[in-house]
Structure 1
Amino acid sequence: MVYIMSNFPSDTGTRILRFTTRGLIPDYRVEQWEAHNARALIPLDIRTIDGRPMHSEETNLHLPSMRLARVFGTSQIVERSEKFINDNPTGMMAIFFATEGDSFFFDRGGHVSLRPGQALLYDADQPFLRGFNHGFRENVLTISKERFRDVAPRSGLKLPMVFEFGPGGSPAEQALGRLVKTTLHRLQLTHVTSTDLPLPGGEDKVISLLGPILGSSPNTEASLFSLARSYIDLHLTNRHLTPQEIAAAAGVSERHLSRIFSAEGTTVGRYILNRRLTFAHEALTSGQQDALPVSEIGFRYGFASPSHFGRTYRERFGMTPLQARRESQQNTHPS
């Protein structure tokens, strides 16, 4: 069967898709599941293992050169044979982050078993077969090969590549797992919008984290700064976020972290504050969170009190949060 993959979205926005087999006639679930994956993630030849009705769900986020997915499914086998690939090329590299349930992976070189906390990187246009004997959950990240070449080692990669993204992983591996997980978790929230996503410059963050993972770039000061920034952006809602916690996530001492930020012309505390103000400003002026009180927006982005939010916001933007919201509303709906 030949599937027509949807094109990557334009650089001007994101696209969110959702799918569930709930409510579908059992005999048509596999067919619909295949069709959704062809449109939203990777075209696959899918079959069940035990003959029972399939249950699957998927939430997808499309970015200009990347796609993310949160996947749940009952026992099944997914395959991309050589003939299937010829009919359904993707032009993508794929990383599968196992979060629940064991799985197996076969390619021409042999087989790999994957357990929760491990990720597997592979070329989606090389033949493979994956199997899940029981229910599973995973996060998936696909990257266009054109973008992947920016960070791939010149000496090439031995695929499949398996790495830990849990406590046993390197700072970059853990940070990439957190970035994907947190982004997809926010997609599960009701009425989520693109302004709610922790991904300004998100594709660049992924690439900067992949460098140390692939061995194409060591943990330079620049990559450590990127690690720290990624961690901060993913934890802005934590009012108790500390330099000690950020340093531990980046795998450096607090003193080293301070030097890294100083070299960039800022401090850890100042950077956190500016990021909180930036996210809050976007929420106030986008028009998509007008139902939320101003104080609630401040609280959501880690400000301890309305007075602290109002004072620092005015220092940064020259007006109060409420004034910024009203000005944005007037510009959007002039009288």
Structure 2
Amino acid sequence: MSSSEVGKEGVRGERPGREAQIGKGLRGRGRRRGGRGEKAMVPEAEFTSYYGKPILNPPVWKSLDIAGYFFLGGLAGAGSVLAAGAQLTGRTAAARALKISSLAAIGGSTAALVHDLGRPERFYNMLRVMKPTSPMSVGSWLLAAYGPAAGAAAALEVTGLLPRLGRAATAGAAVLGPAVAAYTAVLAADTAVPAWHEAHRELPFVFVGSAAAAAAGMALVAAPVRENAPMRTAAVFGAGLELAAAAVLERRAGLAAEPYRRGRAGAYMRAGEVLSAAGTAGCVLLGGRSRAAAALSGAALLASSACTRFGVFHAGVQSAEDPKYTVVPQRERLAARGPGPTREP
């Protein structure tokens, strides 16, 4: 029985220290906005998952197919842009080499995609509708339009037939080329995979820079030295854009950027950085004087672009396999929003 009594004058005989202490003892729990409302009595729970199982299903794509699809699509798209520039400036050997390589690359990219899908008719089924909000739908139609343009540009260049139509096909492939080089990054970022989704702003720039460096590398391998000056400039631009975008990605994406520095993905990304630096330095210092140096520099740039695409792919797989990359960023976003307003009594 309590010895305190409640009367008109208030509570009499209450025992000191027995009144309710709302929120007392909680750590790091501020009051709600406006200074009103009760503090939560339940401490923040530590993160865990059910038996440590992944929260997301990791991508089931085959690394060789999809990372190869990313790489070859970028090489084709950027190659068509450089081919159009080479043709306009009278660099016929470089233009021809880039048109042929773009056709081969888009053919290989499509083959890798169809192989991963399992049956060719699945690709055709994606063309049954046009859905602008779906990167996969837009990408399918983009490939369906770009492939014939790149094929016509290469075939008419080799045969010498219908030069006006060939120039029109070259221009059409060049217009679609940047989208072909970038849309695979949008496709990856549109998923729930943390390392891809959290990098949705920077990943297209990484892919475009990597594609430009790869296409420039192809031109350095295939074109004579007298025609490779613009290609060396494109290599510097592409490598610089890729490295700068990757640095911004690691800073902005927070915890979700960690897989890009660890495991198989980290090894690929570091190899890509080394090869990119070596290829860029080689083409700037020696690429304009030696065909062998230009070819080696170009090969390094091609290998660097491939490593970047494989690194991005494996970073996504690693981030999906570890549940902390899914839950912790979500909690950080909720904490940044702050507690909601309380209702007045």
Range into which the TM-score falls when normalised by the shorter chain: under 0.3
Work out which of the two has the higher radius of gyration on C-alpha atoms and give 1 or 2: 2
TM-score (norm 2): 0.26
Greater share of strand: 1
Of structures 1 and 2, the one scoring higher in RCO (CA 8 A, sep 6+) is 2
